[in-house]
Amino acid sequence: MKASLRERRGQMSLGGFFHPTGNHVAAWLHPESQIDAGMNFRHYVDLVQTAERGKLDLIFVADTVAARDGNLDALKRWPQYMAYFEPTTLMAALAAVTRHIGLVATASASFNEPFNIARRFASIDLISNGRAGWNVVTSGQPAEAYNFNMDELPPHADRYARAREFVEVCRGLWDSWDDDAFVRDRKTALYFDPDKLHYLRHKGEFFSVRGPLNVARPIQGHPVLANAGVSDTGKEFAADVAEIVFTPLHTLEQAKALYSDLKGRMEKYGRRPEHLKVMPGFNAIVGRTDAEAEEKHQFLQSLIHPDVGRQLLSTELGVDLSSCDVDGPLPYDRIDVASTAQRKMLVDQAKRENLTIRQFYLRYAGARGQRTVKGSPQRIADEMEEWFLSEGVDGFLVQPPYLPGGLKDFVDLVIPELQRRGLFRTEYQGRTLRENLGLPRPASRYAKQSAVVHSPA
């Protein structure tokens, strides 16, 4: 293991993914989670400062532009993403209480205009001295369309085509001002050099944007771009524009395949493989011992309300289970297994193992089908080390099961173990998120020679 560490240069990148109360479906019922997390700013201050104490590269908050839709009998017991802060507003505030950590927020390319988004992320980058990141999403929930004058979402491919052009426009807008455009010379009464101001004059399929942006060039040149696409279109988008990919991965084999697939697609866009960091979501339940971690997991599992478990399975299997006995079998005759491969796989598994609905949702619901890794700090670090050294990932997006406790466990128990193994930094070395991730600063399309790293005052 250690020999291969020498072969693989560098250390892993780590982010913290903060679903308000935590990633486990029953997180809010845990007595140690922050019950009003989505609307509690002090909670986020505590989280981001804990993550910065652990030297994490970044924190990430997700977003949809609609409250979660579905069966209210279940949603009333699973409040995640029903009411919470808008992420860019939150990140701007968190910038003021941190110094090093990257601040990555989701914003939709389907339900925004590029000018607003370019301006917002440029501002966060300047406010935070170069720590902004944007998770570009195309928005997949029908309820989002209902808030933007539509009865249904535009087709998947159209949303990605729009996102491609959206990002292109934002990049152009971020280059509106050269890095040294602002002369600010009182003696000559010259504030900026007009030769260093550029009008984009973009006219494309989806957008017509003249520019320039009314914010200076971001400290990082462009904020860091992230994406979590799973589809082929999503992967192609990532290979073209993303610098971080959060796509979920379940096995090491799958991770290795996606890693080489994504990095292999980059050459045709003139990009180098090391300029994209694969950091999948990582659900870690940490205990001081394996037994303690197992106990924590079992406790969380015991908190899942049957209505929530049934509802999650109903959505996944495309059948209403609300009137079914949770201690009975699934109504196999009502499930259309032909519709998706995932559905068929789940149903085959339930039949093979003769699972009741409760047994099945307990397996599926906690992390919504994603893999959960439980154990002592050594066991968790072993797994992370193996995935990193085998080139399955460049790092992880840690999703604590409940917050703030789950993050504190990770920072206090797992981070020191990773540091002891030389797999993670002990101090921040870079000043910006880009520098910490080892990503290059994009040169301006107009002033290639100004690709120097900006020195904040």
Ligand X SMILES: Cc1cc2nc3c(=O)[nH]c(=O)nc-3n(C[C@H](O)[C@H](O)[C@H](O)COP(=O)(O)O)c2cc1C
| Residue 402 near residue 21, CB atoms below 8 Å | yes
Strands 182-185, 190-192: parallel, antiparallel or unpaired by DSSP? antiparallel
> Could you give phi then psi for residue 450, rounded to 5 degrees?
-95, 30
Which of 56, 75, 109, 228 contacts ligand X by CB under 6 A?
A: 228
Residue 88, interface with ligand X (CB under 6 A)? Answer: no
Residue 234, interface with ligand X (CB under 6 A)? Answer: yes
For residue 65, the SS3 value is: coil
Which of 64, 80, 88, 311 contacts ligand X by CB under 6 A?
A: 64
Length of the chain, in residues:
457
Segment near ligand X (CB under 6 A); pick from 33-41, 68-76, 136-144, 197-205: 136-144
| Residue 245 CA, distance from chain mean position | 8
Residue 224, interface with ligand X (CB under 6 A)? Answer: no
Residue 230, interface with ligand X (CB under 6 A)? Answer: yes
We find the least distance from the C-beta atom of residue 285 to ligand X, in angstroms, to be 18
Residue 142, interface with ligand X (CB under 6 A)? Answer: no
Segment near ligand X (CB under 6 A); pick from 225-233, 269-277, 302-310, 312-320: 225-233
Nearer to ligand X (CB atom), residue 65 or residue 423: 65
Query: Considering only residues 281-300, where is the footprint of ligand X by CB under 6 A?
Result: 281
End-to-end alpha carbon distance in the chain = 43
Write out the DSSP string of 360-371: HHHHHHTTTT--
We find the least distance from the C-beta atom of residue 230 to ligand X, in angstroms, to be 4
Residue 307 structure tokens: 């209505």
Residue 138, interface with ligand X (CB under 6 A)? Answer: yes
Which of 122, 137, 239, 389 contacts ligand X by CB under 6 A?
A: 137
Segment near ligand X (CB under 6 A); pick from 58-66, 124-132, 182-190, 203-211: 58-66
We find the least distance from the C-beta atom of residue 173 to ligand X, in angstroms, to be 22
Nearer to ligand X (CB atom), residue 79 or residue 430: 79
We find the least distance from the C-beta atom of residue 405 to ligand X, in angstroms, to be 21
Q: Nearest 5 degrees, angle CA 19-CA 25-CA 31?
A: 85
Which of 62, 167, 239, 418 contacts ligand X by CB under 6 A?
A: 62
Segment near ligand X (CB under 6 A); pick from 135-143, 183-191, 194-202, 446-454: 135-143
Q: How far apart are CA 52 and CA 217, in angstroms?
A: 26
We find the least distance from the C-beta atom of residue 228 to ligand X, in angstroms, to be 3
Which of 48, 55, 57, 63 contacts ligand X by CB under 6 A?
A: 63
Residues 6+ apart with CB under 8 A from 30: 21, 22, 24, 299, 300, 303, 402, 405
Beta-carbon-side half-sphere exposure of residue 87 (alpha carbons within 13 Å): 25
Residue 436 structure tokens: 């910490």
Q: How far apart are CA 304 and CA 237, in angstroms?
A: 36
Site string for ligand X, 244-273 (x = CB under 6 A): --xxx-------------------------
Residue 236 structure tokens: 């192609």
Residue 394, interface with ligand X (CB under 6 A)? Answer: no
Which of 114, 229, 306, 375 contacts ligand X by CB under 6 A?
A: 229
Residue 11, interface with ligand X (CB under 6 A)? Answer: no
| Residue 111 near residue 65, CB atoms below 8 Å | yes
Closest to 138 (Cα-Cα) out of 236, 35, 259 = 236
Which of 33, 88, 106, 220 contacts ligand X by CB under 6 A?
A: 106
Residues that contact ligand X, how many (by CB under 6 A): 19
| Residue 144 near residue 111, CB atoms below 8 Å | yes
Write out the DSSP string of 146-177: HTTT-SSPPPHHHHHHHHHHHHHHHHHHHTSB
Q: List the beta bridge partners of residue 202.
A: 209
Where on the chain is the footprint of ligand X (CB under 6 A)?
62-64, 106, 135, 137-140, 228-231, 234, 246-248, 281, 397
